[in-house]
């Protein structure tokens, strides 16, 4: 609660707040940060290993190895979400499991699994992008704006 909206508390309310502060378990912030760092780092390391694998064994270059690496990470994240493993990892790791590409795939897969009882069209497809829809819309819009600016700069540079 902000200080401006805070009311003057009665003695009983102050005593209650002190009691709550004493009883409420303290959050292990350092431990949570270490877990998030480790899991996020492991996910990113797996992505880097996959990229090196595609470069070494399939003769991709650094730019073209990104697509299959991303595909494998998305597929693995969605599969682990469907099997219920990613949820346990997310509970243990916290924000570390929300590494952008795997966290995004998890949010889409978990929303579709949650609403599968409503049917494939209205349930799975309709709610799949409920959480991620805003990200996609603003991502596409931002890409459009950046591309328009780039084309305009090129066009002005030619004239």
Residue 2 has pLDDT above 60, yes or no: no
Are the CB atoms for 74 and 101 separated by under 8 Å? yes
Predicted TM-score (pTM) of this structure: 0.70
The pLDDT value recorded for residue 48 is: 97
81 and 140 belong to one structural domain: no
> Can you say whether residue 84 is alpha, beta or left, with left for phi > 0 and alpha for psi between -120 and 50 degrees?
left
81 and 153 belong to one structural domain: no
34 and 63 belong to one structural domain: yes
119 and 141 belong to one structural domain: no
123 and 157 belong to one structural domain: no
94-109 pLDDT, tens digit each: 888 888 789 888 888 8
Structural domain that includes position 62: 11-128
> Residue 33 is encoded by which pair of tokens?
């940060």
Residue 138 has pLDDT above 80, yes or no: yes
Are the CB atoms for 77 and 102 separated by under 8 Å? yes
108 and 53 belong to one structural domain: yes
50 and 120 belong to one structural domain: yes
107 and 139 belong to one structural domain: no
């Amino acid at each position: 609660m902000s200080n401006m909206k805070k009311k003057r508390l009665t003695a009983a309310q102050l005593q209650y707040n002190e009691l709550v502060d004493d009883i409420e378990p303290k959050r292990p912030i350092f431990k949570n940060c270490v877990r998030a760092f480790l899991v996020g780092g492991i996910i990113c390391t797996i992505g880097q290993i996959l990229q090196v694998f595609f470069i070494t064994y399939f003769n991709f270059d650094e730019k073209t190895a990104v697509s299959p690496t991303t595909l494998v990470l998305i597929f693995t994240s969605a599969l682990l979400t469907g099997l219920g493993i990613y949820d346990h990892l997310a509970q243990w790791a916290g924000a570390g499991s929300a590494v952008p590409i795997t966290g995004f795939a998890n949010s889409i897969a978990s929303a579709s699994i949650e609403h599968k009882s409503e049917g494939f069209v209205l349930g799975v497809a309709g709610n799949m992008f409920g959480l991620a829809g805003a990200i996609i819309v603003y991502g596409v819009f931002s890409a459009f704006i950046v591309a328009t600016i780039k084309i305009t700069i090129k066009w002005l540079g030619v004239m």
